Amino acid sequence: MNQDPDLSTFSELTVYENYCMAVYKQKGACTPTKIQAIEYLQAYNPKFALRIDSPCKRLSGGERQALGLALCLMHKPQLVLLDEHTSALDPAISKNLMELTASRLALSGSSAIICTHQLSDALQFGNRLLFMRQGRIAADYNAQEKEHLTKEDLLKLYT
C-alpha cells in the first residue's frame, strides 16, 4: 500500500462496493451485507458507517488511505509494504490506525515493512528498525537495541 489513496480504491465505486470487490477477490463471491462491511470497516474509521454508500472520490485522502489499508489487510497477506500509510491523517487517527495495523498484522501472522518519517512510530512499532540514507542502510537496530533508542538518537542519524 502506498501514499496515493487513488491507487488503493476505485474512486467511482462506493465504500461498500470497494469492500465487495475485496471480498470477491478473496472468496470469489460478493455476499456480504452492508452491516458486515460496516462492522469490519469501522474499526479503521468510524465514519465508514455513515459513508458506506458514498463514492470513494468523496472521501478525504486520509479516509481513502484507511479504506485501502482495511481492504489490503482483509486478505491476511504474508508481507505488506506500507509507505507512509498514515501520512494524510490527523495525529489521533494516525495513532489509532498504527495500533490497529500492528494488532491486525499480529493476529494474521503477517509481516510488514513500514516506511515512515514519524520517529515515535519507528520507535514504538515493529521489532526491527532500519534507517536509510541515500538508498543504503545507515543503521540497523534489532528489538533489544531499539528499546533503548530515543527520538534524539534517531535525529542524530539525520546529520
Per-residue pLDDT tens listing for the chain (159 residues): 555 666 678 899 999 999 999 887 766 666 789 999 999 999 889 999 999 999 999 998 888 988 998 999 988 899 999 988 888 778 888 888 899 899 989 988 999 999 998 999 999 999 999 999 999 999 999 999 999 999 999 999 987
Residue 132, strand partner residues: 137
Nine-digit cell string for 33: 451485507
Assessment of whether the complete model's pTM goes beyond 0.85:
no
Q: Do 108 and 73 contact (CB within 8 A), yes or no?
A: yes
Q: Within 8-117, where are the H helices?
A: 15-27, 34-41, 61-73, 91-108
